[in-house]
């Protein structure tokens, strides 16, 4: 198992739709373990495989720091099958550092996917679990939180990155 590097915006793989997993083998199980370790090392509550450079539809979540009844789990090929309500919630992202923005999400979701053992699962979530599920599924679809904020806020973040890059180049 290994802690892997997390890709940062604007890396191109973060904007691509990830490929479905057709077979759950040892490689996929190792990927899940590496993602788990990487997420915990980064103090995150969720991680998608594309964030570590693997364009596969795999997510890991552990929202127990905020909602103790929902500890670690992994989902393969997750898809939202039902949703209701709306909520605005401040979100951050391991791939978009120093960006906390209010994002409009569904208040409740039902997600279907496969467990690491290949069993079909349905997870009903509300609150932080629903938000984290939507956030990570967005990653598998090539969508970042920057795509869910106003154009002005997106431009402010991009300009901040350009300014930091110019500073680094001068060093």
Chain CA centroid to CA 130, Å? 12
Catalytic residue among 79, 83, 126, 136: 136
The CA distance from 123 to 137, in Å, is: 13
Domain membership of residue 5 (yes or no) is no
Catalytic-residue membership of 26? no
CATH number at residue 86: 3.90.45.10
Domains contained in the chain, number? 1
pLDDT over threshold 90, residue 138: yes
pLDDT at 171: 74
Domain membership of residue 107 (yes or no) is yes
Question: pLDDT tens digits, residue range 74-125?
Answer: 999 999 999 999 999 999 999 999 999 999 999 999 999 999 999 999 999 9
Q: Which domain holds residue 90?
A: 12-170
CA distances in angstroms from 13 to 8, 17, 56, 115, 139, listed in the order given: 10, 8, 11, 24, 10
Domain membership of residue 85 (yes or no) is yes
Domain membership of residue 7 (yes or no) is no
Domain membership of residue 3 (yes or no) is no
């Amino acid at each position: 198992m290994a802690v892997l590097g997390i890709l940062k915006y604007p890396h191109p793989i973060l904007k691509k739709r990830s490929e479905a997993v057709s077979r759950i083998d040892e490689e996929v199980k190792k990927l899940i373990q590496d993602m788990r370790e990487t997420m915990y090392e980064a103090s995150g509550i969720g991680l998608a495989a594309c964030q570590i450079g693997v364009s596969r539809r795999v997510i890991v979540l552990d929202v127990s720091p905020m909602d103790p009844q929902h500890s670690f789990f992994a989902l393969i090929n997750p898809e939202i099958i039902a949703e209701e309500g709306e909520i605005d919630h401040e979100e951050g992202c391991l791939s978009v550092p120093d960006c906390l923005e209010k994002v409009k999400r569904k208040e409740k979701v039902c997600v279907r996917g496969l467990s690491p053992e290949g069993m079909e699962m349905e997870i009903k979530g509300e609150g932080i679990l629903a938000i984290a599920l939507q956030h990570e599924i967005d990653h598998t679809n090539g969508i970042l939180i920057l795509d869910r904020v106003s154009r002005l806020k997106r431009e402010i973040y991009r300009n901040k990155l350009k300014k930091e890059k110019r500073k680094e180049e001068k060093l």
